[in-house]
Chain A
Amino acid sequence: MSAIAPPATADTAPPTPDYSEYKLVPARHTWRWVGTVLVAAGVAAIAWSLVTNPRWEWGVVAQWFTAQSVVNGLVETLKLTAISGVLGFVLGFILALMRLSASPLLVSVSWTFSWIFRSTPLLVQLLLWYNLGYLYEKISLGIPFTDVRFFEAQTTTLISQFAAAVLGLTLNQAAYSAEIIRGGILSVDQGQLEAASALGIPAWKRSTRIVLPQAMRAILPNAFNEIIGLVKGTSIVYVLAYSELFYTVQVIYNRTQQVLPLLLVATLWYVVITSVLSVFQYYIERHFSKGALRTLPLTPLQKARKFFATHVASSPTKDAR
């Protein structure tokens, strides 16, 4: 500021003082400090109560956290999540392609699928699949309108609790992921497809090598939302008395009456799974942001290393400068 020469009336203006030797002092943010202290106090109070309140029964939590039955339930939860997640997204991808196809029949079938499964409660869907034997006694595979049967079985033997759970979760998941994948595909510029077909790249490769890698940036955040939702969503399968994590702790606390500590055991496991998934999400999203950003942001590990390098290791040289 002081460098700018004063305007016209220069003959009477005092000479500009020279500030070049003055030290620069950053502005103080008093309220930011007050806010930080208040929030820190609140967080400390919550932490203190969690540690000191004996009714949380942390001993009981620790005792059941790695108990064999709980771990078995955890494995079942992970199995359900993985199977219905993968199948749901594969089916969702097919439904998304159907929805984007030029065939009106494929479009309306895909639309109707999403409409039905998004507009009915998952709980009802699960009970319906489990009780399918009431509606159809036998399930058979053959040529329609003839007596030729390649395969026939009692519905009740075919649809176990596990099968009903996977079927319900998969179809429900497919309806939602179809929309997510479709949105991702639509977000890719039409010129990309045009350039790819002008280069003679076949349709399937255009989808997998040009469109999908770009669509992934839009798909991934929502997809991880869905998968994390599904992890906890599997707890609804308790209505089929399927012994996943949530049903297992219910069985235990009905016996021991330690309701809250056992719910806490399940909760902590869900938190652990979600945290691990979030780390995966970060790195997968980073992988697909190649080319979308001029420079990739540093990973937390790289940030820590850089912080260490600049603030700890090189502090003497910084002073020298």
Chain B
Amino acid sequence: MSIIAARKQKTTAAQAAAETAAGEAAGESRETVGATGSAQAANDSAQAKAGTRGQVDIANVRKSFGATEVLKGVSLTVQPGGVAVIVGPSGSGKSTLLRTINHLEKVDGGYITIDGELVGYEVRGNKLHELREKDILKQRTNIGMVFQSFNLFPHLTALENVVEAPIVAQKRSKAEARKRGLELLDRVGLKDRADAYPRQLSGGQQQRVAIARALALDPKILLFDEPTSALDPELVNEVLDVIRELAKSGTTLIIVTHEMGFARDVADTVVFMDDGLIIESGSPQEIFANPREERTRSFFSKVIEPAFNI
């Protein structure tokens, strides 16, 4: 708890700086997700309160790999408790954008804040200095991530996978972490497989363990990088059902997916990306039924079967 208090102090300073910087980056179109007017006001007063934490602001983020510019100035706001689903053709920069949010990829330009606190950097003078590894790791405990290929630790059981980070990174007691771990496994419907190793589980079960593992740190934000792309079709729904349940819980979710039906169901905002830019964003009804941009329309005509009824 003392960690949160300390973070709050730091936040106010960073927030002020971030706002000045945001002013400078004006002119860039800002996309707002899941906006609930009152949330903004409540934001600074009661950040710790559930449901009002986990606002993500992405401001003019750029990223290149070698000569290829993957993100060409992306700005996006996701309100606390919002569910943003990012769709778009492969190679459009969706996954890279997701990975910049927990600083797994360093940005080349722009910045990202979570509840006003800069991710991966701190303000010193008029420069953003990259944080030390220790501070970055602490920030990451606020951001859970679920990977396409699960990335469970194969030498640890399901329960050991879930309790590893709380014990090692957050220094919680083993008994407490175990108790919480079993609760989380129960929540994803796998309490009876707590002692199974990942290789003894189906793909869908592995991904549900990975979700429980991400939840174990009580993150404000959960990032999903194509969570069902590596699954057999009949296993997709068990994972999507867990995510649907999370969407109601008040945790901010940012999901990259190719499951359009799921996106329509769960998202309060759908973001369409192509070629390193956000082409448009809006409610699922707007984006799927009446896309404004030609590129969006042509993408959906390719990925959504004709029979798919919107």
Interface residues of A (CB under 8 A from B): 189, 191-192, 194-203, 205, 209-210, 213-214, 288, 290-294
Residues of B within 8 A of A294 (CB): 197, 199-200
Is there an interface contact between B155 and A195, defined as CB atoms closer than 8 Å?
Answer: no
Are A199 and B217 touching (Cβ within 8 A)?
yes
Residues of B within 8 Å of A292, CB to CB, are 154-155, 199
Q: Does B198 contact A (CB under 8 A)?
A: yes
Say whether A203 contacts B133, CB under 8 Å. Answer: yes
Please, which residues of chain B bring their CB within 8 A of the CB of A199? 140-141, 164-165, 169, 213-214, 217
Given A191-B151, A195-B151, A201-B168, output 5 extra A-B contacts at Cβ < 8 Å: A201-B137, A209-B168, A213-B155, A214-B153, A291-B156
Interface residues of B (CB under 8 A from A): 102, 104, 133-134, 137-141, 143-145, 147, 149, 151-157, 164-165, 168-170, 197-200, 213-214, 217
CA distance A245 to B128 in the complex (A): 65
Closest 6 CB pairs of A and B: A195-B151, A291-B197, A199-B165, A200-B169, A200-B141, A191-B151
Residue contact A195 to B137, C-beta cutoff 8 Å: no
Name the residue on B nearest A195 (C-beta). B151
Contact A291 B104 (CB under 8 A): no
| Contact A200 B164, CB 8 Å, known A214-B154, A290-B155 | no
- Chain B's closest residue to A293 (CB) is B199
Interface centre among A197, A200, A209 (most CB of B within 10 A): A200
Do B169 and A202 have beta carbons less than 8 Å apart?
A: yes
Given contacts A191-B151, A198-B104, contact A291 B140 (CB under 8 A): no
Within 8 Å CB of B156, what residues of A?
291
Inter-chain CA distance A189–B165, complex, in Å, is 19
5 of the cross-chain contacts (CB-CB < 8 Å) are A198-B140, A199-B217, A201-B169, A205-B168, A294-B199
- A281 and B230 alpha carbons, distance in the complex (Å): 36
Contacts of A195 in B (CB 8 A): 145, 147, 151-153
Could you tell me if B200 and A200 are in contact, using CB atoms closer than 8 angstroms?
A: no
Query: Which residues of A lie under 8 Å from residue B134 when comparing CB positions?
Result: 202
